[in-house]
Amino acid sequence: MTVRLRFAPSPTGYLHIGGVRTALYAWLYARQRGGEFVLRIEDTDVARNSDEAIQIIYDSMRWLGLDWDEGPEVGGPHGPYQQSERLALYREHAERLIESGHAYRCYATTEEIQAARKAWEEAHGHGGFRFRSPWRDRTDGDPEVPHVVRFKAPSEGETGWDDLVYGPIAYPNAEQQDFVLLRQNGLPLYNFGAFVDDLTMGITHVTRGDDHLVNTPPQILLYRAFGAEPPCFAHLPMVLGPDGKKLSKRHAAVAVLEYRDLGYVPDGVLNYLARLGWSHGDDEIFTRAELIEKFDWSACGRTGSRYDVKKLAHVQGAHLRVLTNEALAGLVVPFLAQRGLEVAPGDPRLVAAIEPVKLRATTLVDLAEGLDYFFRADDALVFDEKGAKKFLVPEAAPLLEAFASLVESTAFEAEALEAATTAWLERDGIAIKNLAQPARVAMTGRTASPGLYETLILLGRDRALSRLRRGAERARGA
């Protein structure tokens, strides 16, 4: 049997990072088992849906590399999957349930339901109300009169399943009421729409947050009413903030595309999300291929995992630094452009400069910041004022001028420059620290950079000389 899993977000805003973790686990299992991953858009909440939000879902999934086999823009006999385009299918399945005696048309008004609730609460207190429709066993209603379609839920026994994460779970049927399948306007409620979609798409495994645990019994009852085998269910605990409460914007970025804009790389985000509720020994860093190979439902935790910004940064940085310099050059260009620096991805200076700079970078924003001084005009170099005040002092001016003359007259190779500089400093009894930091600040504007001679080579002779002499002028005027 081919395993088929789905991700079914609602287009009501940004794509939440917690939802992406759900999609990731489904995607990993589908890829591991040679199965299929389906994307569908649950867009029946007309008041809150937007085309922009749908596009955000597509852009987020593409950026993360969570490709789908069926769904929007894949084509073929299946998809695109948007619930708003499948309303006839829901009506058809509702009619089949009515014909088989598992559902009925309910003409009870909102006022009648509220009156029944009030009577219950007066007799029994708040909580526990289950609406018992007077239309449950009637067949004399007019289909042309506004009505909802309700499922005839059993009131005895229990409905349970063996959850892939939580293990055996069962709910008493007495807790169920005759839940609504279709509203008066013909739109399906969540449980019915999801059930019909999963049934007709042949979904074998349903992965979702554990806030959907209460939705599973009604859906299992619907499968039984159709004489169909329910899929396997995997319910995942919530992603929590550092304070143990539901992850929100006050804790960290929660929209997927925010991470893209902050300069994260997709594999770093996915690696961290995979480990946020799943473990494989003490291993922390995984390639995408390793996640596919090692993922296992039994290793998913049953309690909420707390989002840790520092751990995310550690994982993200590890993934950034394993990318080739050529790959990083292509990725960092837009972030350099945001700083007003137009650099071509294939610029050999860019590729060369990345190697020493990426060792200090966690994100592409960090990388762009570290590369800034290599590509900024000499007269526009941005100085760390504290560093400049400390190191570009009058006594540093003659050292910078002498160093510039040495660089100008020495073969422009790191080893030759180092040898000539060492000989000069030893001859004149000058400590390397008295030259290195003023020269670093003069050439880069900052106190931390690649090594002195590496920086010279990366800048090139002409730019290095220009900056050293500008630094001497600034030091003399300090």
Q: Is the pLDDT of residue 77 over 60?
A: no
Q: Is the overall model pTM greater than 0.85, yes or no?
A: yes
Contact by Cβ (8 Å): 42, 196? no
Predicted confidence at residue 189, as pLDDT, reads: 94
| Sheet containing strand 205-209, strands side by side | 36-39, 4-7, 205-209, 232-236
Mean pLDDT of 175-180: 93
> Which residue in the list 118, 249, 390, 433 is annotated as catalytic?
249
Whether 249 is catalytic: yes
Average pLDDT over residues 284-300: 97
In the predicted structure, residue 49 carries a pLDDT above the cut 80: no
Least confident of 303-307, 417-421, 467-471: 303-307
Average pLDDT over residues 309-331: 96
β pairing state of 305-306 and 180-182: unpaired
Residue 205 pLDDT grade (very low, low, confident, very high; cuts 50, 70, 90): very high
Give the integer Cα–Cα distance in Å for 240 and 227: 38
* DSSP 8-state code for residue 128: -
The percentage of the chain sitting over the pLDDT mark of 70, rounded to a whole number, equals 97
Q: Residue 5: beta bridge partners?
A: 37, 205
Residue 478 has pLDDT above 70, yes or no: no
Peptide linkage before 9 cis (omega within 30 of 0) = no
pLDDT of residue 39: 93
Lowest mean pLDDT among 48-52, 96-100, 271-275, 293-297: 48-52
Question: Per-residue confidence at 75, pLDDT binned at 50, 70, 90?
Answer: low
Confidence band of 83 (pLDDT split at 50, 70, 90)? confident
> Which residue from 36, 75, 44 is spatially nearest to 205, judged by alpha carbons?
36
Return the pLDDT at 248: 83
- Check whether 350 has a pLDDT greater than 90: yes
The answer, yes or no, to whether residue 335 has pLDDT greater than 90, is yes
Q: How many CB atoms lie within 10 A of CB 139?
A: 9
What is the Cα Rg of the chain in Å? 32
CB 124 within 8 A of CB 158: no
331: confidence class by pLDDT, cuts 50, 70, 90: very high
pLDDT tens track for 363-375: 999 999 999 999 9
With CA atoms as reference, report the closest residue to 17 among 330, 290, 366, 252: 252
Q: How confident is the model at residue 345 (pLDDT cuts 50, 70, 90)?
A: confident
pLDDT at 80 over 80: no
Helix axes 325-338, 348-358, angle to 10 degrees: 100
Mean pLDDT confidence for 105-130: 86
pLDDT of residue 464: 96
d(CA 379, CA 463): 11
Confidence of residue 128 (pLDDT cuts 50, 70, 90): confident
Contacts of 221-225 spanning 24+ positions with Cβ under 8 A: 221/151, 221/153, 221/154, 221/159, 221/176, 222/97, 222/151, 222/191, 222/192, 222/195, 223/195, 223/199, 225/97, 225/100, 225/102, 225/103, 225/151
pLDDT band for 74, please (50, 70, 90 cuts). Answer: low
Determine the pLDDT at residue 116.
Answer: 85
Contact 181, 192 (CB under 8 A): yes
Mean local confidence (pLDDT), 254-279? 96
- Exposed e or buried b per residue across 265-286, where buried means at least 16 C-beta atoms within 10 angstroms of its C-beta: bbbbbbbbbbbbbbebeeeeeb
The mean of the pLDDT values for the chain is 93
Going along 103-215, which residue ranges are E strands? 103-106, 148-151, 158-163, 167-172, 180-182, 205-209
Distance of CA 439 to the CA centre of its chain: 42
pLDDT of residue 236 exceeding 70: yes
Which range among 14-18, 26-30, 128-132 has the greatest average pLDDT? 26-30
Supply the pLDDT for residue 73.
66
Gap between the Cα atoms of 367 and 354, Å rounded: 8
Alpha-carbon distance of 448 to 267, in angstroms, equals: 28
Distance between CA 230 and CA 253 in Å, rounded? Answer: 36
Tens digit of each residue's pLDDT (9 = 90 or more) over 393-430: 999 999 999 999 999 999 999 999 999 999 999 999 99
User: How far apart are alpha carbons 199 and 225 in whole angstroms?
Assistant: 12
| Rounded average pLDDT over 349-358 | 93
Whether 307 has a pLDDT exceeding 60, the answer reads yes
